[in-house]
Amino acid sequence: MSDYNLENLQVLIKKATELHVERNFTEAIDYYKGAMKLGLSIYDESKNEREKKELSTLILKLSKNLDKCKGPNFDDVVGLEDFKKLFRENIFAVVRNRKMAEKYKVKANCCILLQGPPGTGKSYGIKAAVNEFPEAQLFETKVSDLIDAYIGNTGKNIDKLFNKAKEYINEREDHYAIIFIDEIDGIARSRKSDDKGAKEAMSSLLVNLTKVDEENLNIIFIGATNTPDELDAAFLSRFGNNIVEIPLPDTEARKMILKKNLPYASEDINWDKISLLTFGLNGRDLKFIAKDANKKAFNNAIEGEEGPVDEKVLEDMIKIAIDRRKKIANHL
């Protein structure tokens, strides 16, 4: 295998990463593809098993970053401005300016809490943030996967999650692991009750968060909750000023969400009226409205009445969505 090919591979990887960081996702995709193609060619020519293993790991990483560039980014996230600002100023700025950060003893925020009603885009925002971040790997888990009926096992499961993240960063210099747990209140409730399982789970969680902070590990922990009032006080204290409110979409955000999800909409739609009709709905509701409206217009088209999604169709889908929300609320 020629050194020339290896040098070319490193050049392509460096350029792809730079473009990714600069948010030039389209060109980054081309460079990642070029690097993968050259990497696979070098792999096929290599006779050294150790070298082939290293190339295999590298190609897998390139593939993941390629997927990040193709996936949603902050441009696709409507609203969540405080969340995006926190990531840009308190994480990306530190990662991109390491020497200056070391001078001022500043490190990327390790604990972030997102709170707000369901369906407001918390999970989507996290995925977009990770896609903006070529040096990061997402470790996402559900509370249900951590909770165990046997006392002590939930704490062990939490330890395993953090240890998995530690192993990742130990093997990769200057990389970050992002641990994301949605509905964190399931394991971070107040310990005032006599629930021994809840107490040991909280104890394990707090110990791990303390280690992440004190040992300056490149781990970013993000929790999301719909019920912040139920969280343990000691747990909340770990987040400082990094508790971000994720509200329901406002008037402009509701318009933007609908427009983004309606690729073929009439130019005559009164968006101010539509926005008023959708007051109180969350981002998930709005995406369902758009999805149903697209399907209705499609069905009309194949029956011979082709045309864009119009205001009447949108109003009908909004009514259905509001009725659906009422039924869910009554059921609860």
- How confident is the model over 201-242, as pLDDT tens digits? 888 999 999 988 888 789 999 999 998 888 989 999 999 889
Residue 211 Cα distances to 150, 163, 166, 199, angstroms: 25, 11, 11, 19
pLDDT of residue 92: 93
Q: Are 217 and 211 in contact (CB under 8 A)?
A: yes
Q: What is the pTM of this model?
A: 0.88
Burial 131-164 (b: 16+ CB within 10 A, else e): bbbbbbbbbebebeebbeeeeeebbebbeebbee
pLDDT of residue 191: 67
Report residue 253 as tokens.
């955000």
Strands (E), the chain: 111-115, 136-141, 176-181, 219-225, 243-245
Report, as ranges of residue numbers, the positions in the chain whose pLDDT lies below 50: 332
- How confident is the model over 59-72, as pLDDT tens digits? 999 999 999 999 99
For residue 204, the one-letter residue type is S
CA distance 317 to 83: 30
Q: Are 18 and 10 in contact (CB under 8 A)?
A: no
